[in-house]
Amino acid sequence: MAALVQGLAELGHRVSLLAPPETKLPGATWIDVPQKVLLGPLDDLVARVPGDADVLHAHYPIQRLPAGIPFLQTMYGNMGSNPVVPPNNVFLSQNHARRHGGTSFVYAGLDPATFTFRSAKADYDLFIGRLHSVKGYRWAIAGARRTGRRLLLAGGWRPSFRRGIRYVGEVDGDRKRELLAGARCLWMPALWDEPFGLTLIEALFSGTPVLGTHRGSLPEIVTPDVGALCDSLEELIEASRTIQSRSAQACRAHALRYFTHVIMAEEYVRCYRHLMATGSLPPGRPTPYTIT
């Protein structure tokens, strides 16, 4: 949400942020809305919306359409089987939308200026994410053991590892930027359907190629020029041997072309205008190399 607010502001739009005080963001006019109002009756929330607002965009699920203002919302996670998708929903990728019976999506974006680009890489591979089986961290470990590569893992809890595999804990800010910029590659062998995966574009902005699977949104984000997508651990291990042949400059250029905060904001503005003109959301626009 912060990146979207920044992108909309840079495009010259006026943004009002209805949120508790601790969520003030540069580029937005903050309107104090207690959490009990945000999560309470919808009419109470709509009463706080400025009278001249063109559209209301929610970033948490709201189950019915408010009256009197064009409305949309973004879904950030996966729903279970037989989901009841909230109305006027925008998803994070084409795959994310299709799995929930939708067509409207906008790819996430980030400000490239907040990442450190480095073409000369250090001698380690990197995994960043929850150390949960669906994230595939065990495949990253197995790949490191089989290839003899040094692997750094950053995540939420500390398991025990053998020599050559180092756990660095939860990382953010400068430490995260440095790890992403220095890594030979980012391992993201997802074993579930990722709605988007911000770590993917964080790596690409840093000039770091990606090793991943054909799950969820990954085929919409990672091309052969900036990484390798595989279907098995054996394939990933083989791909890891040549992953460093990808150009750091190509990785960053790819992210700049498709996944900046401004590009994301432009796509949401397209959604806003279509909604205001027709009452419905437009289909999402997949990256040109996405297999449809």
pLDDT tens digit sequence for 204-226? 999 999 999 999 999 999 999 99
Interatomic CA distance for residues 25 and 7, integer angstroms:
12
Question: Residue 22 above 80 pLDDT?
Answer: no
Average pLDDT over residues 150-159: 80
DSSP 44: H
**Which of 213-229 are b and which e, b meaning 16 or more Cβ less than 10 Å from the residue's Cβ?**
bebbbbbbbbbeebbbb
- Domain assignments of the chain as residue spans, ordered by start: 2-110+261-278, 114-258
- The predicted-structure confidence for 31-79, as pLDDT tens digits, reads as follows 999 888 888 888 899 999 999 999 999 999 998 899 889 999 999 999 8
Average pLDDT over residues 149-170: 76
More confident residue, 286 or 67: 286
Contacts of 101 (CB under 8 A, 6+ apart): 85
User: In one letter, which amino acid is 122?
Assistant: A
Question: Residue 163 above 70 pLDDT?
Answer: no
pTM of the full structure: 0.92
Q: Quick one: CATH architecture of 114-258?
A: 3-Layer(aba) Sandwich (3.40)
Interatomic CA distance for residues 174 and 146, integer angstroms:
31
Q: Hey, what are 221's tokens?
A: 């984000």
* pLDDT at residue 171 in the model: 85
- The predicted-structure confidence for 122-149, as pLDDT tens digits, reads as follows 999 999 987 788 888 889 999 999 999 9
Identical fold at 2-110+261-278 and 114-258? yes
User: In one letter, which amino acid is 179?
Assistant: L
Mean pLDDT of the chain: 92
User: In one letter, which amino acid is 188?
Assistant: M
* Four-residue CA torsion sign, 91, 176, 185, 156: negative
* pLDDT at residue 21 in the model: 75
The tokens 């953010």 sit on which residue?
172
The tokens 């490191």 sit on which residue?
144
Among left, alpha and beta (phi > 0; psi -120 to 50; other), residue 52 is alpha
Interatomic CA distance for residues 124 and 202, integer angstroms:
17
Q: For 2-110+261-278, give the CATH class.
A: alpha beta
